[in-house]
Amino acid sequence: MSKYQRGILSNLEDVTLNRIEYPNINKVANIFTRYFAYPYIVKKEVKKDNVKHITSQDLGHLLKFVKLNKTVVTCHDLIPVVYDKTRLPNWKFNIEGLKKADRIITISDFSKNDIIKYLNYPEDKIRIASPAVDHANYYRKRDKSILSELDIAENEKVVLYVGSEQPRKNVPTLIKAFSKLKKRFPNVKLLKIGKPQHPSARKELLELIDSLNLRNDIIFCGYISEKELVKYYNAADLFVFPSLYEGFGLPPLEAMACGTPVITSNRSSLPEVVGDAGIMIDPFDIDEMADMMYEVLTNEGLKEDLAKKGLERSNIFNWKNAADVTLSVYEELN
């Protein structure tokens, strides 16, 4: 890093909730503090001539309540507004604040287009810094031994899904497709890793699973450490991610980095992530999803071809590129 670049970074304020803590009193007091008092705490603490980087769209409301110059906001996606159709006032504040940012950094062309469409934000002020995986942790090391901890036999195939159970993740469709797969290919388990993150979601999924007589074939794991997650990616025979809406979609990239064949939906940002290294399907087509899972699990040539392409694709995304884009935005504003 040059002396000039170090100088720019030294004149940077990270305007996040981690930077300046507000009191954790009761819920009402916290709402008042977050949306009315906290912005002025920020204004008092930051230096006037520094670049101010608000590192999440959830804090965009800062720019609604306080005028700051040289501002950057990282907006990963507009899911609450575009997909969830939320009417919560905090998101109205966030949107109004985002519109006042001098620059917006986002994570995909898909999110960029949403920002332009729903915020009417100038395209020439948006930059894309795509996420990546740490290849020191996510790499191909095929080993099924960890599956024994879940009583999965060595000769059983494993379809893996990593993520929440929010409606946009489309997990019920995956379960229905898995049920069809199971009738053609009995020696297979579905492994789901991640917390529900949605009220009543697990109860509804379990009712669906019981109606399909799959209680012994689908295994739910909650949160697991990143170190363990890598092991499960490497143990799985196939990764399926049928999400309807993603700002980027990191789990397919993690799976590809571990040499696991990937099937994703053909919606939102996922084609940008997977490219031609995975199989993309209509996320509402249960038969197609089941057919593609069967094809990958029974065709070793296809499986290995997808694994090879996935490894190559995962190397396109790296944190240096993201850092370079971010630094260039700081330079523009400084």
Q: Residues 129-187: pLDDT tens digits? A: 999 999 999 999 999 999 999 999 989 999 999 999 999 999 999 999 999 999 999 99
Residues found in the chain: 334
List C-alpha distances in Å: 112 to 78, 124, 158, 251, 280. 10, 11, 35, 20, 21
Among candidate residues 298, 289, 307, the one with its CA nearest the CA of residue 187:
298
CATH architecture of 145-314: 3-Layer(aba) Sandwich (3.40)
| 57 and 81 Cβ atoms separated by less than 8 Å | no
Task: Please give the helix or strand (H or E) that residue 31 lies within, else none.
Answer: helix 27-32
Q: 84 in helix, strand or coil? A: coil
**pTM of the predicted structure, to 2 decimals:** 0.88
The reported pLDDT for the residue numbered 33 is 62
Are 3-132+318-333 and 145-314 equal in CATH topology? Answer: yes
Q: Which CATH superfamily is domain 3-132+318-333 in?
A: Glycogen Phosphorylase B; (3.40.50.2000)
pLDDT given for residue 203 in this prediction:
92
Q: Which residues contact 92 (CB under 8 A, 6 or more apart)?
A: none
- Residues of the chain with confidence (pLDDT) below 50: 1-10, 16-25, 28
Please report, for the chain, the start and end positions of each structural domain, with discontinuous segments joined by +.
3-132+318-333, 145-314
